[in-house]
Structure 1
């Protein structure tokens, strides 16, 4: 089965009615990425936008459920650091730690 990535890009680029909503509504089925890769990509996006703590919890849970290890999740932070900047990663690290069940405040004190 051949992918229609150009058509999908076109629909997203022109904001075709329902194209973005369809992608959101169908979740993992809207992509050819496997669930683990998609969850890790979403965590990278959360770092990039400086997302709130609950978002990291939900998506870290999804990544772990899809087979990602905590090391792989931390590797996402390291991997996006040159792109998003160290301050974004520093801000995200405690949120990711909490999502993985660790309070970095306990370690720092």
Structure 2
């Protein structure tokens, strides 16, 4: 399906595919066109933007790394969304993401003060 058709469905809030079994075969338009790595990073950015819960960060970070993203690229997501969502959200997400990557936020502070 062409991206304009997909955009049109979103613009008009066409959600009947989710509610009517007759439209079950019409879900192909929802399949992302992005590669797995990019999609995982985008989903992580969205999680940060909405202030996701702690367990979600583990799943999102794992998905990104499993799709080929490095830990540095996962952290870059925080830097990338900073001008859009603001410092408060990014600072709130940082310890959650650190934990998801296997770091203790308190230990990071001791190892890398100010």
TM class by shorter-chain length? Answer: 0.7 to 0.9
Report how far residue 33 of structure 1 moved.
0.5
Counterpart of 1:7?
Answer: 5
Aligned counterparts of 2:6 and 2:101: Cα–Cα separation in 1: 34
2:17: which partner in 1? 18
Q: Distance in 2 between matches of 1:13 and 1:106?
A: 46
- Count how many residue pairs are aligned between Structure 1 and Structure 2: 102
Q: State which structure, 1 or 2, has the greater radius of gyration over its C-alpha atoms.
A: 2
Structure 1: state its 5+ residue gaps.
none
Deviation, structure 1 residue 99: 0.6
Per-residue CA deviation, residues 55-106 of structure 1 (Å, 9 max, x unaligned), is: 1111110000000000001111001101100111000000101111111123
Residue 107 of structure 1, CA deviation: 2.9
Give the TM-score normalised by structure 1.
0.84
Runs of 5+ in structure 2 lacking a partner?
19-23
- Asked if 1:46 corresponds to 2:55, the answer is no
* C-alpha distance in structure 2 between counterparts of 1:87 and 1:60, whole Å: 20
TM-score of the two chains, using structure 2 as the length reference: 0.81
